[in-house]
Structure 1
Amino acid sequence: MSHGLIPRSHLFGNPYKFSGKISPDGLFLAWLAPLDGVLNVWIAPIDAIDRAEPVTKDTNRGIRTFEWANDGHHLVYMQDKEGDENFHIYAVDTETRAIRDLTPFDGVTAWIDRVSRTIRDRILVRINRRDPKFHDLYTVELASGDIALIQENFGVAAFVTDHHYNVHLAIRDLPSGEREVLRRVDGVWTPWITFATEDARVSHPLHLDTHARMLFLRDSRGRDKAGLTRVDLATGETALLAESDKADIFGVLCDLETREPIAYSVVHERLQYFALEAKLQADLDFLAAQDIGDWFLLSRTLDDRLWVIGAYSDTQPFIEYLFDRGTRSLRELHRVYPELDDAPLLPMRPLIIKSRDGLDLVTYLTLPGDVSAAAPGAAVLLVHGGPWARDSFGYHSLHQWLANRGYAVLSVNFRGSAGFGKAFINAGDGEWGRRMDDDLLDAVAWAIERRIADPQRIAIMGGSYGGYATLVGLTRNPDTYACGVDIVGPSNLETLVRTIPPYWESFRAPLTKAVGDPETEEGLRLLRERSPLFNADKIAKPLLIAHGANDPRVKQAEADQMVEALKERNIPVPYLLFPDEGHGCVRPENNIALFAIVENFLARHLGGLAEPIHADELKKSSLEIREGAEQLSLPQ
């Protein structure tokens, strides 16, 4: 291909193999891989991977998450219908290949809550069948599908259970913004621990120890960054086990027998692991010495001898390994994207940009190969979703795609992003479309000042909250960006809040605290003031909108009403709709079609490189071009 372009099919197509999970006894490995172009679960003996066979045969949307049950021969997985997020839970018997729908209820969302290591014939699930707003707890027998109610939900966000599926605690978010941990006292659920409003978004229970005597929490009480604490259920005595002055505790690794934390991780600019027990330090040191990049634990055997880990760096997509802790040996299982082994991937640079009011914004920059300080070039500000999420270091398909096409790519952890302490995440409350946007503007100014970005050739792009940020950027700062791409972004915060899925009811208080409560005069004023829909007339630069028709979080109406408002003002806008997708594209055919159009849209308005759009890329997708086809470079 000309110009050394990495094919879109290599960047956004199906992975070769990924999500390796080892069986509890260590004899088999399961993973996800395409079967006739659709992701399914495959299984093979751990010592004979080449004898793999598929144990599922999905022909539509594909499977993306699964795990072993601890009976050793069932796998459980979740699947929705065309992105509607009404997940069903399925069990497949790896010996007979029989598949059973464990939650065969229409219009209901089910989640796997816990797979016990002691009760091996049943799993614990959450189902909102009785009340769409709240999930009750049930056990389901894997072989028969028999279902039994364990705990009816009385209006809480979640329950804390032990490995015997006993319910010990409940978590409830209050309208005031506080978060309560409740326990039963004489049969009555009673508040036990209360996290103040400032702590609630980053503090919550993690798990109990094996004997249900100790509760472990991510806890920011008395500190800015959330630490790891232990609370004695009998006495209430609290002990701090770990903390960082740079970022919240990220992940916690526990002993399989005792459930005591034995290691934790922190992510500021890069991922770091810390051992809490000396016996694990040798494992961490061994993995650190292997030069495999940042790694994550994907699964482990019941005896904890064998781990499957996934590792990657900025220029190396995921590779999955089998780590034998007994022999301290590492065996490569598979490369997730082997077609990228020889691709011209570019390094990602972590850095910190100061906001105008002094906040540290952890940022990631990927530069095209021909960037020169003497000649600033085109750039794309890529805004993450959430917003209570974060960008991190490592292989990033969108960064590599855009940099390969000649753009400097900038991803900013603006205020409101998760992982940087309670003051940082809470600084986003009431600041959607204002200081959160100012942080993005400060990053753009930084890139211009350092002659990375040509001020006339900067795009803003993102999905979900990133799509909202794109609309804000083009309405609030109409001269800053040359163009924008909004993917599943809300345009009207009032309708966003009023149409959240029913099972988000327990999340309503934190959401309205952040954006405004439509049931109050002040909240309604704030929601409308910060909604790009009501400033559509200010858009002066090209905009592309893409949405999934079945999106339960940000309804299609968010795109429809923005497009209609632009049409009324004679502002042209290409509008891409995917009728078989929800909150973002999952099917690779749809992702490839979407990014083919986005790539050529950016090339037209920024002057970067572009692989031509191939007719079959569009034909294989479900894409409907609702508006603005004449503004796109489409094959005939």
Structure 2
Amino acid sequence: MRRHLIATAVAVATVAAGGVAATAQTPAPLIERTKLFGNPSKTAGRVSPDGKWLSWIAPRDGVLNVWVAPVSDPAKARAMTAEKQRPVRGYYWAPDSGSILFITDTGGDENFKVYGVDVATGTQKALTPFDKTRAEIIAVSRNVKDRILISVNNRDPRWFDVHSLDLKTGALTLVFKNDAFGGFVADEQLRVRYALKPRADGGQEVFAIDGQTVSATPAHIIPAEDALTTAPAGFDNDGSTLYWLDSRGRNTAALIAQDVRTGKTTILGEDARADVQGAAANPITGKIEAYSVNYLKTEWRPLDAAAKADLDFLKSRLKGQVAITSRSDDNRLWTVNEDPVTAPAALWLYDRTAKSLTRLYVTRPELEGAPLQPMHPVEIKTRDGHTQVSYLTLPPGADKDGDGKPETAVPLVLLVHGGPWGRDVYGYNGYHQWLANRGYAVLSPNFRASTGFGKAWINAGDKEWGRKMHDDLLDAVDWAVKHGVTTADKVAIMGGSYGGYATLAGLAFTPDAFACGVDIVGPSNLTTLLATIPPYWEAAKAQFNRTIGDPATPEGQALLKERSPLFKADQIKRPLLIGQGANDPRVKQAESDQIVDAMKAKGIPVTYILFPDEGHGFARPQNNLAFNAATEHFLERCLGGRSEPFGDALNGSSIQVIHGAEFSPGLKTAMDGLKASGF
């Protein structure tokens, strides 16, 4: 949770096979918004633990739901869930393969409930039928088939009690009553073994747990500087080895195996450039047999001969980035995602025994043959000598020789990720493809505070919101100007959550740096942001205070005010578009209301779009399509790119234009048409 507080005369573009390249006479075809941001045909494919079923998320009556099909006949798929409003965005197989588990909320309020659907009968049941509470799945074991561990804050909204959930009866049994801990680590026998307690300085203490008994002293201490790069990563199947992603005593997080009995640690994997990102464990033994590191791109590194053989086989058959998304309990069947970047992702079924690959589906087949563009990893130096890994995508026809630089400067959208404790990665990116197709270079920098590049880079962002973190963004723009990607007067800034804050900061603190900005659910006042975080983020408060600013001290109060774009709103002079979800529990609607009111009071134009059935971001495709339609017309006027007509993009959405429709080209007319049509 704490990481996520907060998207010429000859053929000149690298395109997917069969695609149409751009020429001076014939621009690349406009890719329709619905193909990029409408429902995927299928996504999130997995194989059941018993290896008999395949599952995926796909539309049912226009809403994403979970489907299940026999492995022997994927064409016989049937819908397991029947959500009518909000899409199912994630699910689990029950360990006995008898049911599907998923979580969903209401209107983006993030009060998640856990549901179970019986595969044989299709009967759905609310397993955590509590209102105004949040349930989370802690552990699903391959060894224990009839129950899972969940946490729920129905007793105290600040803290999550651990319960055992019987998958057949739905009975909840209290395992651990919690009044102090922010997280738990369970073994494959579903025994809670460790609990993580926040420290006042932003670090954590890891206590051993035996039933309801907590050790008198912590078994491990995670200093504040390591809090975002160090954590227990789970046990092997017999519980004798505890795995860690650990940056203590080093900069980047290494994969470490610890013998539980002796305490001895062994480094399994490390990289001086980047943290270990993930690991693949054998489902039979629970032993980690491969790990991944992502500096510029994801690299999988095997730890034994069998894993090497499998990874070599997959790399020899598949293009682009490869990710293992699920395995059967006997380790015979895997689902493997293939991301070619310039073509839509595909899911394959890998039979390890037969050494065969079967393509199950393409996520967005409507994009096959579309003029999708390559993504270029670049290393950009900051003014104080650091390197920020960034990703650049160029418009079709802009890069004749494929060297990652346009022949002539083009307008640029600086697309800033959220978090800020997150990162951008190499791979297919719908926002990069959309904006590039509209005529813009797109640059996504991993500014300081981004994760994945070691604790020094994360901690360099402490108390630097709107300052050095913003300097990094300006340095990325300067790099793009110096390398001929764009010109200084043709740069927009855009992002969600922290990226929305960066947009507001960019227009308020450096009012001449950007031609315009698009803010999605971004905070404008850091004091009110911290005062209204959800109660279930209690365990993260100390970390927020350390990294953003402490509202309990006079110095912290002054810093938070200084770094809040709201108090410099009168300096904004470039066009601004704001999108907000009314039910956002992280960045409340008031964050957008405040800055819009401040700009209105000064007579500064701003367009404010609200979605009453959304939270922190736009989950319903209809709402995402509506906002993106407004965004591309807004950017067209600002940067001079191109746009697809509004058409029926607003139909089915809950869009409300609270203020300034007249400042966004075509929006007022589209809204008038929406009202006239009765939507």
Unpaired stretches in structure 1, ≥5 consecutive residues = none
Whether the aligned pair in 2 keeps the contact of 1:140 and 1:147 (CA below 8 Å) is yes
Q: Deviations over 1:438-474 (max 9, x none)?
A: 0000010011111111211110000000000000111
Alignment pair present for 1:392 and 2:425: yes
Whether the aligned pair in 1 keeps the contact of 2:243 and 2:255 (CA below 8 Å) is yes
Whether the aligned pair in 1 keeps the contact of 2:315 and 2:322 (CA below 8 Å) is no
- Which range is displaced more, 95-104 or 182-191? 182-191
Alignment pair present for 1:253 and 2:280: yes
Alignment pair present for 1:512 and 2:537: no
Alignment pair present for 1:605 and 2:638: yes
Displacement of 1:213 in angstroms is 2.4
Displacement of 1:184 in angstroms is 4.0
In the TM superposition, what are the counterparts of 1:55-70 in structure 2 within 5 Å? 55-70=80-95
1:523 is matched with which residue? 556
2:391 is matched with which residue? 364
Alignment pair present for 1:173 and 2:198: yes
Alignment pair present for 1:44 and 2:69: yes
- From 399, 411, 416, give the equivalent of 2:444: 411
1:99 is matched with which residue? 124
Whether the aligned pair in 2 keeps the contact of 1:21 and 1:67 (CA below 8 Å) is no
In the TM superposition, what are the counterparts of 1:257-406 in structure 2 within 5 Å? 257-371=284-398, 373=406, 375-406=408-439
1:196 is matched with which residue? 223
> SS of the counterpart of 1:496?
helix
> SS of the counterpart of 2:225?
helix
Task: Report the Cα distance in structure 2 between the residues aligned to 1:187 and 1:54, rounded to whole angstroms.
Answer: 44
In the TM superposition, what are the counterparts of 1:144-183 in structure 2 within 5 Å? 144-183=169-208
- From 595, 618, 621, give the equivalent of 2:650: 618
Displacement of 1:374 in angstroms is 5.6
Q: Which amino acid aligns with 2:605?
A: P
Aligned-pair Cα RMSD in Å: 1.4
- Which range is displaced more, 136-145 or 384-393? 136-145
> SS of the counterpart of 1:135?
strand
> SS of the counterpart of 1:453?
coil
Q: TM-score, normalised by structure 1?
A: 0.98
> SS of the counterpart of 2:490?
strand
> SS of the counterpart of 2:649?
helix
Q: Which amino acid aligns with 2:353?
A: G
Whether the aligned pair in 1 keeps the contact of 2:240 and 2:261 (CA below 8 Å) is yes
1:594 is matched with which residue? 627
Whether the aligned pair in 1 keeps the contact of 2:201 and 2:543 (CA below 8 Å) is no
> SS of the counterpart of 1:619?
coil
Task: Report the Cα distance in structure 1 between the residues aligned to 2:408 and 2:270, rounded to whole angstroms.
Answer: 44
Aligned residue pairs total 635
Q: Deviations over 1:211-269 (max 9, x none)?
A: 22221111111211100112222332222221111100000111223322111000000
1:83 is matched with which residue? 108
Q: Deviations over 1:299-331 (max 9, x none)?
A: 110101100111102212220010111122111
Whether the aligned pair in 1 keeps the contact of 2:284 and 2:331 (CA below 8 Å) is no
Task: Report the Cα distance in structure 2 between the residues aligned to 1:105 and 1:380, rounded to whole angstroms.
Answer: 43
Displacement of 1:617 in angstroms is 1.6
2:523 is matched with which residue? 490
1:430 is matched with which residue? 463
Alignment pair present for 1:575 and 2:608: yes
Q: Deviations over 1:37-85 (max 9, x none)?
A: 0011111111211111112111111211111112122110111111000
Q: Which amino acid aligns with 1:154?
A: D
Q: Which amino acid aligns with 1:513?
A: R
Task: Report the Cα distance in structure 2 between the residues aligned to 1:208 and 1:374, rounded to whole angstroms.
Answer: 52
Q: Which amino acid aligns with 2:362?
A: R
Higher relative contact order (CA 8 A, sep 6+): 2
- Which range is displaced more, 62-71 or 428-437? 62-71
Task: Report the Cα distance in structure 2 between the residues aligned to 1:516 and 1:98, rounded to whole angstroms.
Answer: 48
Displacement of 1:292 in angstroms is 2.4
Whether the aligned pair in 2 keeps the contact of 1:201 and 1:510 (CA below 8 Å) is no
- Which range is displaced more, 308-317 or 404-413? 308-317
Task: Report the Cα distance in structure 2 between the residues aligned to 1:278 and 1:2, rounded to whole angstroms.
Answer: 49
> SS of the counterpart of 1:387?
coil
1:503 is matched with which residue? 536
Q: Which amino acid aligns with 2:258?
A: V
Where has structure 1 moved over 4 Å in runs of 4 or more? none
Whether the aligned pair in 1 keeps the contact of 2:290 and 2:302 (CA below 8 Å) is yes
Task: Report the Cα distance in structure 2 between the residues aligned to 1:300 and 1:566, rounded to whole angstroms.
Answer: 53
Q: Which amino acid aligns with 1:622?
A: S
Task: Report the Cα distance in structure 2 between the residues aligned to 1:221 and 1:66, rounded to whole angstroms.
Answer: 33
> SS of the counterpart of 2:475?
helix
1:544 is matched with which residue? 577
Task: Report the Cα distance in structure 2 between the residues aligned to 1:51 and 1:160, rounded to whole angstroms.
Answer: 38
Q: TM-score, normalised by structure 2?
A: 0.92
Displacement of 1:14 in angstroms is 0.0
Whether the aligned pair in 2 keeps the contact of 1:346 and 1:368 (CA below 8 Å) is yes
- From 231, 235, 238, give the equivalent of 2:265: 238
Do the aligned partners of residues 187 and 77 (structure 1) sit closer, same or farther apart at CA in structure 2, a change above 3 Å counting? closer
> SS of the counterpart of 1:377?
coil
Unpaired stretches in structure 2, ≥5 consecutive residues = 1-25, 400-405, 674-679
> SS of the counterpart of 1:599?
helix
- From 71, 79, 83, give the equivalent of 1:54: 79
Whether the aligned pair in 2 keeps the contact of 1:599 and 1:610 (CA below 8 Å) is yes
2:18 is matched with which residue? none
- Which range is displaced more, 365-374 or 132-141? 365-374
> SS of the counterpart of 2:110?
coil
Task: Report the Cα distance in structure 2 between the residues aligned to 1:296 and 1:173, rounded to whole angstroms.
Answer: 33
Task: Report the Cα distance in structure 2 between the residues aligned to 1:223 and 1:584, rounded to whole angstroms.
Answer: 35
Task: Report the Cα distance in structure 2 between the residues aligned to 1:2 and 1:247, rounded to whole angstroms.
Answer: 39
- From 53, 56, 76, give the equivalent of 1:31: 56
Displacement of 1:298 in angstroms is 1.4
1:560 is matched with which residue? 593
Whether the aligned pair in 1 keeps the contact of 2:50 and 2:96 (CA below 8 Å) is no
> SS of the counterpart of 2:500?
helix
Task: Report the Cα distance in structure 1 between the residues aligned to 2:567 and 2:262, rounded to whole angstroms.
Answer: 54
Whether the aligned pair in 1 keeps the contact of 2:28 and 2:396 (CA below 8 Å) is no
In the TM superposition, what are the counterparts of 1:183-222 in structure 2 within 5 Å? 183-184=208-209, 187-189=213-215, 190-222=217-249
Q: Which amino acid aligns with 2:564?
A: S
Displacement of 1:3 in angstroms is 5.7
2:453 is matched with which residue? 420
Q: Which amino acid aligns with 1:70?
A: P
Task: Report the Cα distance in structure 1 between the residues aligned to 2:241 and 2:77, rounded to whole angstroms.
Answer: 42
Displacement of 1:558 in angstroms is 0.4
Q: Which amino acid aligns with 1:263?
A: A
- Choose between structure 1 and 2: higher strand proportion: 1
Task: Report the Cα distance in structure 1 between the residues aligned to 2:27 and 2:309, rounded to whole angstroms.
Answer: 48
1:117 is matched with which residue? 142
Task: Report the Cα distance in structure 2 between the residues aligned to 1:308 and 1:517, rounded to whole angstroms.
Answer: 45
